[in-house]
Structure 1
């Protein structure tokens, strides 16, 4: 089994940290290759950053779709996950969704600890999109920028402990998701400090990807995640054009036939 883990940003030290978490989580028979986009922001801390990051993330999936059995997008906003599912039949796992699934099975009430306060709206929308808003009782921030979560590990850990205690004591959270890929590998020490389950989102996504591949399941192409419509997209390379994406388009043809107007009698 081969899994490609894609860092959502272009900051190399964070890519290395994500790889450490992914390698520690993988099963012995699984090969994990961690990459980052060729273009895009060094950190994703705003909607502007997120939307600029998505083309580079999609390019990684398109280039790897014949080489890997599953993809993990390692940014807690899950940028580009839905679009990536359109270009491949292979499972595409966002680390946010994966971590929430795990938290949901470990605790009745759980929360998210993330980076800066301005990310709250992005985090709330990510949670709402997965349908877990009723189970998430807390979103707390450390105030530490994304890149610094990788560079200032002790400061990040201490800030996570403070935020985590607030989530437990004021919001009654019984488990916590680490809401940034840069926080990976801090879960075990934070668990020792807080005494509740702490979910490393990168590790959770790798294990979930292994499980889905092991179940021999692929992304549904029945409707929502069909291949993109055949039309030119100016400014993008040939391999990113819908016509270059291999796959079964019979569902598209069937829908066209089904919705075509019936011939009128002459």
Structure 2
């Protein structure tokens, strides 16, 4: 099985963190293929950057269409998830989407700890239809760049955020951020509740979807596009829009 782990920003170190987390969670025989866009924001932190990154991500996915069995979106905003799911001929799973779904199996309500502001995560969880199961959203005073450069210092802040989420009623906590990939395993012994790594959850879910062999819909809003004209797009993406 070939699993594409597609970052939506251009920071290669974050791609590598996510790929390592995916390999740790993947079944024997699954090949993890990391991919980073050739253009776009270094780290997604605003709504505008998320839109730009969505274009970059779709171009990246189009280059791999037909060559992989499933896609994990290694971006905690689940950037362009719905568009990618419509475009690609294989299963596409967002890391925050997967963590939310897995969290629902661990208790009544879950929490999320991330960097900085939480409002876009509130909106994304609402879009997934699970905001009623969310007990706490915690933003820690750290950046993805700091998580790469000074892992230990950021882990201490994240652990305090996890404890805060648990006191607000979270039965488990998701680590919301691609730069937090792989951190759950190290923090688990000190955490008062189970921790969910979005990349690990997405990897396991993507593998399950491949095994289920569900067909691509031929009708409805997630059927593949066809006959769509465009100007200035990368050749692979333009071809997929044409069908």
Normalised TM-score (structure 1): 0.87
The offset of 1:161, in angstroms, is: 1.0
The offset of 1:51, in angstroms, is: 0.7
Taking structure 1 as reference, are residues 242 and 67 closer, same or farther at Cα in structure 2, changes over 3 Å only?
Answer: closer
Distance 1:135 1:34 in 2: 32
Equivalence for 1:71 = 71
Q: Secondary structure at the match of 1:195?
A: coil
**What whole-Å deviation, never above 9, does each CA across 1:48-103 have from its counterpart, x for those lacking one?**
11111111110121111110010111111100111111212210000010001111
Calculate the aligned-residue CA RMSD, in Å.
1.4
Distance 1:231 1:212 in 2: 28
Moved more, 221-230 or 24-33: 221-230
Q: Secondary structure at the match of 1:106?
A: coil
The offset of 1:156, in angstroms, is: 1.2
Equivalence for 1:142 = 140
1:124 to 122, 125, 140: 122
2:180 counterpart of 1:183: yes
2:36 counterpart of 1:36: yes
Gaps of 5+ in 1: 247-266
Equivalence for 1:112 = 112
Equivalence for 2:228 = 231
8 Å CA contact retained: 1:87, 1:245: no
Equivalence for 1:216 = 213
**What whole-Å deviation, never above 9, does each CA across 1:226-248 have from its counterpart, x for those lacking one?**
223523212213322256654xx
The offset of 1:217, in angstroms, is: 1.6
* Higher Cα radius of gyration: 1
8 Å CA contact retained: 1:89, 1:220: no
8 Å CA contact retained: 2:226, 2:241: no
Equivalence for 1:46 = 46
Gaps of 5+ in 2: none
The offset of 1:220, in angstroms, is: 2.7
Taking structure 1 as reference, are residues 243 and 6 closer, same or farther at Cα in structure 2, changes over 3 Å only?
Answer: closer
Equivalence for 1:91 = 91
Q: Secondary structure at the match of 1:68?
A: coil
Q: Secondary structure at the match of 1:155?
A: helix
Equivalence for 1:6 = 6
8 Å CA contact retained: 1:230, 1:242: no
Equivalence for 1:259 = none
Q: Secondary structure at the match of 2:6?
A: strand
Equivalence for 2:151 = 153
8 Å CA contact retained: 2:229, 2:242: no
Normalised TM-score (structure 2): 0.95
8 Å CA contact retained: 2:228, 2:241: no
